[in-house]
């Protein structure tokens, strides 16, 4: 009997050691420091959880639900002081200069687990790290390796944007995404609520915004950029919107998960749905021949800019912003300000009169005039205005916060902080995850630009050209999912994950603790399993093989190159039409073969497991 107990104890200790080695590098985002020690905490149905009174009502439902979800475990959760000597988890609010806002200290020992923080956000974040330390399995009793985790965020803005205008997503879908992203310590959820293809928020003073502006004609069977405009008399079955009660529920749900909901009402351009609902906000009193005032169905939407000269435009937007601002407790209000086609302004008598009265040199300064009016309206609601970086044009808009998305010819990531603007990095080259994430011929329909997971992960939000003073104005980083090509929940999630997880680590972790190989391994070993458990659709494109070849027609030969972003694995391929395996040819470098053959290639682990989809292409 003693030998049997000793063997069980030995197996338990060995298992803990293995788990400790795995868990030390399994976190996303990677903490500042993780120190693993011997032993572990046995989490079971008798484990008690203690939460401070001030946070009990918000935190208890989350703790209870997550233990039930993760482990099928019902744990007793108690309010206030600790009343157990061992086998407990304690959330502790402390005063400590060493713990930064949203930061925490997680201490797992054989007798207890403590999560210490100076604020609710830190306690929530510490709990998410504890969840990641627990093995992914369905079991009512599990061992958590002993460890000390000290952690705090690099940036205060760790965001994701979801475009619900191009394709409406339900309230329940939004709540699910808040659950997922908050578990990876993302704390800003930017809702792109309005655009040419739909107005998605109820405005009680202007009901036509949702009665007409939230619905469009069905063109789902036609590629996005090839769709013809709707006619006035055809049905408009595609769309939807959030009631103000829906918005309140989303905000409250997010608040308890340390997520701030940021609303965006995009003006003066991207406003075709708004103009369709209220045509009087367009530049001309009489609709010019050939101008269509239906909600856009996709593709480009001409005549989508509001009139910048009519005073009624500003009164309308003041009413809308006042109503929206009252709903959202966030200190921020996003007004868009991007991609404005000013051709109608050049011909509009109201716009030209406004330019003359205010001594504006050109339409760029007229846009600046418009944006400054928006800034005054937003400021009157005691909000900080956010705009896409086009709002820097003309005379700029001091006091605003800039989302710097353009790169290349435009350098807002440098211009905005150099001109004193708080800046959020939303680089389209690193953060626009509407772009496909694997070989374009293997991915769902979308832009033909490839933004692989490794590139999202490699993003450095603070440009090296900035001084320290300028760098201090960089609030953080945000990834953006524009929705032209994501009509379904499954496709939407496929584009969000795992690239949003990479962005979360870019936003939270300091560069010195980041490692692409560790991140990739953490996904494979743990986080894909967690997403599976939580019913989240995600892409495994990180394991795709990228083929490139050139055909020499003179000799009927193909020179073939194979590549992958994943590290630590081998590529095997075939040329006879069979699926590759470890028995196939191992790729060691480019090779020459007969043209027109069918190439099949895959990425494999040492045990023969295929990691991603098989790449298949004809060499011709």
**In terms of domains, do 418 and 305 share one?**
yes
**In terms of domains, do 460 and 365 share one?**
yes
pLDDT at 23 over 90: no
**In terms of domains, do 162 and 89 share one?**
no
**In terms of domains, do 168 and 127 share one?**
no
pLDDT in tens, 97-130: 999 999 999 999 999 999 999 999 999 999 999 9
| pLDDT number for residue 165 | 98
| pLDDT number for residue 19 | 54
| pLDDT number for residue 307 | 98
**In terms of domains, do 84 and 124 share one?**
yes
pLDDT-derived band at 15 (thresholds 50, 70, 90) equals low
User: Which domain-ending residue is among 95, 117, 151?
Assistant: 151
pLDDT-derived band at 75 (thresholds 50, 70, 90) equals very high
| pLDDT number for residue 323 | 98
| pLDDT number for residue 130 | 98
- What is the distance between the terminal CA atoms of the chain, rounded to a whole angstrom? 70
| pLDDT number for residue 2 | 54
* Cβ atoms of residues 372 and 395 within 8 Å: yes
**In terms of domains, do 210 and 336 share one?**
yes
pLDDT-derived band at 409 (thresholds 50, 70, 90) equals very high
Domain coverage including residue 120: 2-151
Region 440-467: mean pLDDT is 96
Structurally, how many domains does the chain consist of?
A: 3
pLDDT-derived band at 476 (thresholds 50, 70, 90) equals very high
Region 526-533: mean pLDDT is 97
CA distances from 27 to 22, 183, 380, 466, 530 (A): 10, 11, 43, 30, 12
Is residue 129 a part of any domain in this protein?
yes
Mean pLDDT of the chain: 95
* Cβ atoms of residues 426 and 411 within 8 Å: no
**In terms of domains, do 301 and 444 share one?**
yes
Q: How far apart are CA 305 and CA 341, in angstroms?
A: 7
CA distances from 561 to 63, 214, 593, 601 (A): 50, 48, 11, 11
The CATH number assigned to the domain holding 203 equals 3.20.20.80
Region 583-597: mean pLDDT is 98
**In terms of domains, do 138 and 239 share one?**
no
pLDDT in tens, 319-334: 999 999 999 999 999 9
**In terms of domains, do 355 and 439 share one?**
yes
The CATH number assigned to the domain holding 589 equals 2.60.40
| pLDDT number for residue 138 | 62
Residue 293 has phi, psi (to 5 degrees) of -110, 35
Is residue 12 a part of any domain in this protein?
yes
**In terms of domains, do 553 and 579 share one?**
yes
pLDDT in tens, 335-358: 999 999 999 999 999 999 999 999
| pLDDT number for residue 139 | 67
**In terms of domains, do 292 and 378 share one?**
yes
Q: Is the dihedral of CA 511, 512, 516, 522 positive or negative?
A: negative
pLDDT in tens, 37-52: 999 999 999 999 999 9
Is residue 539 a part of any domain in this protein?
no
- Which residues does the annotation mark as catalytic? 339
pLDDT at 24 over 80: no
**In terms of domains, do 470 and 549 share one?**
no
pLDDT in tens, 267-310: 999 999 999 999 999 998 887 777 788 999 999 899 999 999 99
* Cβ atoms of residues 43 and 16 within 8 Å: no
């Amino acid at each position: 009997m003693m030998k049997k107990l000793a063997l069980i104890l030995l197996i338990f200790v060995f298992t803990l050691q293995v788990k400790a080695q795995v868990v030390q590098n399994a976190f996303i985002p990677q903490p500042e420091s993780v120190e693993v020690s011997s032993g572990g905490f046995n989490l079971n149905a008798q484990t008690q959880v203690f939460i401070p009174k001030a946070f009990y009502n918000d935190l208890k439902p989350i703790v209870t639900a997550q233990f039930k979800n993760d482990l099928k475990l019902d744990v007793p959760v108690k309010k206030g002081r600790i009343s157990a000597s061992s086998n407990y988890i304690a959330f502790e609010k402390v005063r400590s200069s060493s713990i930064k806002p949203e930061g925490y200290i997680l201490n797992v020992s054989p007798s207890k687990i403590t999560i210490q923080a100076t604020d609710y956000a830190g306690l929530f974040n510490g709990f998410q790290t504890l969840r990641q330390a627990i093995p992914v399995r369905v079991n009512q009793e599990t061992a958590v390796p002993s460890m000390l985790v000290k952690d705090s965020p690099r940036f205060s803005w760790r965001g994701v944007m979801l475009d619900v205008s191009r394709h409406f997503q339900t309230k329940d879908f939004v709540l699910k995404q808040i659950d997922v992203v908050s578990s990876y310590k993302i704390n800003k959820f930017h809702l792109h609520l309005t655009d040419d293809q739909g107005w998605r928020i109820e405005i009680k003073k202007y009901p036509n915004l949702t009665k007409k502006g939230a619905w469009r004609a069905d063109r789902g069977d036609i590629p996005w950029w090839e769709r013809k405009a709707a006619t006035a008399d055809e049905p408009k079955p595609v769309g939807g919107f959030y009631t103000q009660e829906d918005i309140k529920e989303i905000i409250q749900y997010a608040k308890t998960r340390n997520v701030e909901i940021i609303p965006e009402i995009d003006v003066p351009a991207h406003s075709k749905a708004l103009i369709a609902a209220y045509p009087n906000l367009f530049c001309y009193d009489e609709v010019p021949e050939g101008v269509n005032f239906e909600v856009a169905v996709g593709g480009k939407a001409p005549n989508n800019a509001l009139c910048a000269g009519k005073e009624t435009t500003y009164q309308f937007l003041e009413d809308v912003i006042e109503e929206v601002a009252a709903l959202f407790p966030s200190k921020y209000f996003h007004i868009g300000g991007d991609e404005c086609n000013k051709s109608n302004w050049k011909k509009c008598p109201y716009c030209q009169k406004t330019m003359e009265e205010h001594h504006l040199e050109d339409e760029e300064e007229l846009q600046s005039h418009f944006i400054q009016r928006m800034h005054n309206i937003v400021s009157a609601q005691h909000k900080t205005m956010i705009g896409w970086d086009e709002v820097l044009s003309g005379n700029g808009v001091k006091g605003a916060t800039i989302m710097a998305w353009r790169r290349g010819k435009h350098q807002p990531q440098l211009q905005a902080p150099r001109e004193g603007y708080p800046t959020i990095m939303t680089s389209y080259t690193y953060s626009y995850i509407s772009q496909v994430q694997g070989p374009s011929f293997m991915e769902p329909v979308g832009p033909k630009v490839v933004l692989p997971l490794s590139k999202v992960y490699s993003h450095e939000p603070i440009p090296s050209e900035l001084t320290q003073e300028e760098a201090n104005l960089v609030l953080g980083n945000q990834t953006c999912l524009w929705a032209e090509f994501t009509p379904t929940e499954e496709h939407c999630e496929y584009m969000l994950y795992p690239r949003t997880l990479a962005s979360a680590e870019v936003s939270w972790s300091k560069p010195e603790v980041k490692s692409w190989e560790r991140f990739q391994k953490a996904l494979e070993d743990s986080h894909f399993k967690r997403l599976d458990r939580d019913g989240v659709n995600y892409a495994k494109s990180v394991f795709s093989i990228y083929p490139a070849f050139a055909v020499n027609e003179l000799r009927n030969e193909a020179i073939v190159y194979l590549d992958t972003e994943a590290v630590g694995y081998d590529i095997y391929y075939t040329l006879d039409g069979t699926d590759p395996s470890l028995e196939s040819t191992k790729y060691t470098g480019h090779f020459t073969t007969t043209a027109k053959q069918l190439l099949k290639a895959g990425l494999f682990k040492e045990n023969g497991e295929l990691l991603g989809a098989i790449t298949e292409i004809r060499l011709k």
